[in-house]
Amino acid sequence: MKIDNAVVVITAGGSSSGRAMAEHFCSLGADVALLDTEWPALRLSADQCRPYAGRVQPICLADDQPASIHDAFAQVTQLFGGIDVLINQWQGDILPSLFNNGAWCDMPRMLTNTTSPCYLVVQHAAECMQQRGRPGVIINVAGAHLTPDTVANAMIGGLTQRWAKELSGLKIRVGGIVPRHRHRATFEMDDELIRNAEYIVSNDSFNGRLLEASG
C-alpha cells in the first residue's frame, strides 16, 4: 500500500509513541486521525503534526465505551471519506505472578479492560475499510512502555493471526508489533515501532505475523 494520501487512524494518539507515529506518517503525506481520551496530550500530538504535508485531526473520546468508539470512527469517515490503515496501540498491564493471588483475583477485569476497547476499535476499522472497498491494513502494537511478558503481547499474536484469517477475504491485512527487549530508551523504541509499522503498511505480502521491536 502507498502511504501518501492514505488515511491512517492511530489510537492512544496522545502517547509519546502515538505522537511519533503520527508525525512520521504525516511527513509521508498520509492523513492522520488521532484518537485518545486525554485532550491536552492529544492536542499536543496534533500540533506537532501541523508542519507536515499530511492533514491531522485529533478526536477526543469521552471514554472507551462502544458508543464513543462508534462516534469517533463515524467522524473519521465523514472527515476523510474512509479509513485505509489502523495503528491500534494496546495499553495493557503486566501479567501478574502465578503466586500473587490478589492480582489473579482481579484478572478477569484486567483482561476485559485490555481487550474490549482494542476489539471494538478493530471491529469498527474493519467495517469502515469494507465500506471503502479497497485494501486496508490493521496493525496491533504493544505500547512502547510494555515489556515482553505482558498480557498485551501474549494476546496480540493470537488475535493478529485470527483476524488476518477472518479479514483476508475483504483484502484487509493484519500485522502486529511487540517489544523484544526491556528497558530501552523511549525514543529508540518509538523509532523501531515506526519503522516496523511503515514496513507492514508498505509490504503487501505481510499478513498474520508479528515483528519484534528491539529498540
pLDDT tens digits for range 87-129:
998 865 555 555 555 554 554 555 555 567 788 999 999 999 9
**What is the rounded CA–CA span in Å between residue 110 and residue 169?**
32
Is 1 domain-assigned?
Answer: no
Is 17 domain-assigned?
Answer: yes
152 has a pLDDT exceeding 80: no
The share of the chain scoring above pLDDT 70, in percent, equals: 80
pLDDT at 127: 96
154 has a pLDDT exceeding 80: no
Is 118 domain-assigned?
Answer: yes
What's the structural domain count of the chain? 1
Q: Which domain holds residue 186?
A: 7-213
Element (H, E) at 141: strand 136-142
Q: Do the Cβ atoms of 152 and 114 come closer than 8 Å? A: yes
Q: Please provide the average confidence, as pLDDT, over all residues in the chain.
A: 86
pLDDT at 117: 78
Is 2 domain-assigned?
Answer: no
Q: Which of the pair, 59 or 181, is modelled with greater confidence?
A: 59
Q: Which of the pair, 189 or 190, is modelled with greater confidence?
A: 190
**What is the rounded CA–CA span in Å between residue 215 and residue 17?**
12
pLDDT at 167: 97
What does the pLDDT average to over 130-152? 78
Q: Which of the pair, 108 or 41, is modelled with greater confidence?
A: 41
**What is the rounded CA–CA span in Å between residue 12 and residue 20?**
11
Element (H, E) at 82: none
Is 119 domain-assigned?
Answer: yes
pTM over 0.85: yes
* CATH number where 41 lies: 3.40.50.720
Q: Give 177's strand partners.
A: 141, 211
Element (H, E) at 116: helix 107-132
